[in-house]
Amino acid sequence: MKAVATAHLTRARELHRDSRWEEACTEYAVADTEDPLAVEDLESFAEAAQVCARSDEAVTLLRRVFDLRVGRGELDEAAQVAFWLWWVLLNTNQHVEANGWLRQTGRVLGPVTSLWLRIPEAMFEATTGDRSRAEELLGAVVGEGRGEVIPWALCLWGQTLIDGGRLADGLDRLEEAMAVLLDHGLSPRVTPWIYCAAVRGCCLARDFARARAWNRSMARWLDSLSSLRGAYLGNCRIYRSRLMCLNGAWPAALDEIAEVCDDLDGHTGWICGHAYYQLGEVRRLRGEWVAAEDAYRRAAEHGCPTQPGLGLLRLAEGDVGAASAGVRRALTEVISKPDRLDLLEAAIAIHLEAGRIEAARDALAEFEEITAELAMPVIEAGRSAVAGALALAEGDPAGALPLLRRAVGTWEDQNAPHEVAKLNVLIGRACHALGDHDGARLEFSAARKTFERLGARPDLAALDRVVAALDGAAGAHGLTRRETEVLRLIARGKANRAIAEELHLSERTVHRHVSNIFTKLDVDSRTAAVAYGIKHRIVEMGTL
C-alpha cells in the first residue's frame, strides 16, 4: 500500500508544480486514501482544491490542516490556514459560516496576533465605511509582515484607497503588489488575487493604459496554464473580457465571459455574480435583451449588484420609469466613489431621455463634486461628456461642442471605439443644431460605421431615431424638436416660466430656446415667430 500511495503522491506533487491542479487533486485524493497525507501535502491538496473551485473539498481539507497545525503547536501557521478557510467560505457567499469560523478560530488560538487574521478585520472596516481604520490595519500588516501577506494586504489597501477616491495612492499600492508578484512569483492561490485586484483597481480608477499592461502580464500567465477552470481563474477572465469589450473586441469578450459562466454554472459566490453581470453587459450592448436580463438575474442570485447595467437595459427597452427607479435606488446604497460615478453617468442619461433637465443637472453636480480632485484623463473625459450632453439638452450646442470634442479625443487615445461612437452621435446633434449639416452627417456616418462593426444594434436603432427626428423636425425652418415644442407653447400664449414648468426645464434653458427660435426664423418678437410658425405649418391653428 505504501508504494502505491508514494507513487500517487509523487505524481500529485509534480502536477501541482506544473499548475495542473484538477489532476493534482485526483492524485492527492488517492494518496490520502491509501495513507493519510502529512500536513504539508494536505495543505497543498487544499490549495489545489481551492484554486480549481472545489470549495467544499477545500473547506474539509483546511479544517484537517488547521487541527493538525494546532495539535503540533504551530499557531501562526494555523492562523494562516484559518484565514484561507475563511476566504473560501466568503467567496462562496457563506458569510455566516465565515464569521462563525473566525470566532471559533479566536477561541482555539487564543491571543495569537497573526497578520493574516487582520485582513478580515480590515475588510470589515472597509465595507462598513471606516476606511481610515482599514488603511491603518493594512498599513501595519505591510509594515510588520513578511511573505505573501504583504502583497495581499497591499492589494486590499489599494482597493480601499480607490473606493475612497484616492486613486493615485491606491494605484501605487497595487503597483507595489504587482512588483512583488512579477519579481518573485507567488503561490497559486495568491497570484490570481493579485492580478484581479490590480486590473480591477485600474478599471475602477479609469487608468485603462495600466490595466491593459497588467492584463497582458495576466494573459501570459493564464495562457501558460493547462486549465482555466474555477472561480479563482474565472475572476481574472472577467476583467480580461471587460477590457476586450472596451477595446471593441465584442465577439471575443462574449466568448470569454460566456465560457467563464458555463464553467461556474452550479457554483455559488460573488465571483459567479460578477461573471454573470459582465455577461449581461456584453449581451445588453449587442441588443440581446432577453439573454442580458437573464444574466443580470443570475448575477443577483449570487449577491452581485445589477446596476447600472439593468437600468441601462430598461432605458434601451424604453421603460424610463423602471430605469430611473433602479439607478435611483442603487445610489442610496453605494458609497464607493468610482461605483457612484458609473451610477451617476447612467442617471444623467436616463434623466435626459425623460426630459428631466433639473434632475440631470443635480446628478451632474454630484458627478463634478466627486471628480473635482480625480485627475485621471478618462474621468475628466467622462465629466466633459456628461456636461456636454446636458448642455445639448438645454439648447446650448455651442457650449456642448468643446466639451464633447475634448471627451472624444481622450477616448480615441484609449482605443475605446464604442465610447467614441456614442460621442460622435452627440457631436453630430450639436453640429446639426448649429446648422452645420455636413458636419452632422460626417459624425453620424462615423458612429454608424463603428456601431455596425461592433454589432451594437441598440445604438444603431437609436442613431436611426436621432437622424429621423432631426430630418423631420428641422425641415426648412431648422428648428429642433424641443424648439418646436417651445414655439407651440408660445403660440398658446405661455410665458417662459409657464413653458419651463410644463416642459420641466429651467427658465434659462427656455430663454435660450426662444433666442434660438428667433435666430433660426429670422424674427425679432414672439408674435412674429408665431406668425411664421402658422404660415409654415409648424404651429397648427387648433393649438392657439
State the CATH number of the domain containing residue 525.
1.10.10.10
H-helix or E-strand spanning residue 130: none
Please tell me the pTM assigned to this model: 0.84
Are 433 and 398 members of one domain? yes
Are 320 and 288 members of one domain? no
Q: Is residue 432 part of a domain?
A: yes
Q: Is residue 43 part of a domain?
A: no
Are 145 and 164 members of one domain? yes
pLDDT digits (tens, 9 = 90+) for 192-228: 999 999 999 999 999 999 999 999 999 999 888 877 7
Are 262 and 231 members of one domain? yes
Measured CA to CA, the distance from residue 248 to residue 353 in angstroms comes to 25
Q: Is residue 352 part of a domain?
A: yes
Are 189 and 239 members of one domain? no
DSSP per residue, 271-319: HHHHHHHHHHHHHHHTT-HHHHHHHHHHHHHTT---TTHHHHHHHHHT-
CATH of the domain at 370: 1.25.40
**Which residues make Cβ contacts (< 8 Å) with residue 289, sequence separation at least 6?**
283, 313, 316, 317
User: What pLDDT does 228 receive?
Assistant: 77
pLDDT confidence band for 386 (50 / 70 / 90)? very high
Task: Inform me whether the pLDDT recorded for 421 exceeds 60.
Answer: yes
Are 338 and 383 members of one domain? no
Q: Is residue 2 part of a domain?
A: no
- End of a domain among 203, 234, 250? 203
Measured CA to CA, the distance from residue 431 to residue 443 in angstroms comes to 9
Are 296 and 312 members of one domain? no
Q: Is residue 193 part of a domain?
A: yes
- End of a domain among 374, 389, 407? 374
User: What would the grid cell of residue 177 be?
Assistant: 503588489
Q: What is the percentage of the chain residues whose pLDDT exceeds 90? A: 72
Q: Is residue 96 part of a domain?
A: no
Residue 458 in 3-state DSSP?
Answer: helix
**Which residues make Cβ contacts (< 8 Å) with residue 108, sequence separation at least 6?**
70, 78
Q: Is residue 472 part of a domain?
A: no
409: exposed, middle or buried (Cβ count in 10 Å: 0-12, 13-18, 19+): middle
- End of a domain among 243, 268, 303? 303
Range of the domain at 515: 481-543
User: What pLDDT does 472 receive?
Assistant: 61
Count structural domains, the chain.
5
- Other CB atoms closer than 10 Å to residue 111's CB: what's the count? 6
Cβ atoms of 242 and 280 within 8 Å: the answer is no
Are 445 and 492 members of one domain? no
Q: Is residue 143 part of a domain?
A: yes
User: What pLDDT does 52 receive?
Assistant: 84
Q: Region 111-117: what's the mean pLDDT? A: 81
Are 271 and 330 members of one domain? no
pLDDT confidence band for 112 (50 / 70 / 90)? low
